[in-house]
Copies of this chain bind each other. A is one copy, B any other.
């Protein structure tokens, strides 16, 4: 598959900001079941092989998984402090849970589970997110789960952008480029717009 034209400036930003430990921390906005917005930090897990789909991981028991199941649109905001630039990825989200029908994506889910660190996998043994914390909860001190088989509530999340908005604050005055996807997944246009 052809790389989208925004892949090149994104790769450059990742490279120039690589010294920052949190460079892959981005903010994912979704919509709650009552139509109000939600927003939280998630970790960018790279691209699905040979595609332009951004990968993330989540827990099926989290509110964001329910939100995505209800309304599958999202916007990821990615700010790079060192180069003072922002990418916004607006598009459809795919929640790949353990019953997802596509075998290729199920395989990608398994691979993503394998790629997590032990502490990353351990989070999925913890008690239900956002429920009251019990002082003696043993779930937070279990050995890490096996890397070979994902726990049932582990989900891979994909974002397929239809619009990417790239803002460079360092320009004179600033530079802003709008990438928009056409009918075909590989068909992108880019336009310079006012910041």
Contact = CB atoms under 8 A, between A and B. Distances in A.
Nearest to A36: B73
Contacts of A28: 39
A61 to B, nearest CB: 10
Contact of A29 (B75, B81, B84): B75
A65 interface: no
A71 B39 CA distance: 16
A191 interface: yes
B79 A41 contact: yes
What does DSSP make chain A's interface, helix, strand, loop or mixed? Answer: strand
Interface stretch (A3-11, A97-105, A120-128, A150-158): A120-128
Contact of A39 (B39, B123, B128): B39
A20 interface: yes
A37 B29 contact: yes
B129 A194 contact: yes
Contacts of A21: 81
Residue among A77, A127, A130 having the largest count of chain B Cβ atoms under 10 Å: A77
Contacts of A25: 79, 81
Contact of A192 (B129, B133, B173, B195): B133
A30 interface: yes
Contacts of A90: 36, 38
A13 interface: no
A88 B126 CA distance: 21
A98 to B, nearest CB: 21
A108 interface: no
A94 interface: no
User: Which are the 4 A-B pairs with shortest beta-carbon distances?
Assistant: A29-B29, A29-B39, A27-B27, A29-B37
Interface of A: 20-22, 25, 27-31, 35-41, 71, 73-77, 79, 81, 84, 86, 88, 90, 122-123, 126-133, 137, 140, 173, 176, 178, 191-195
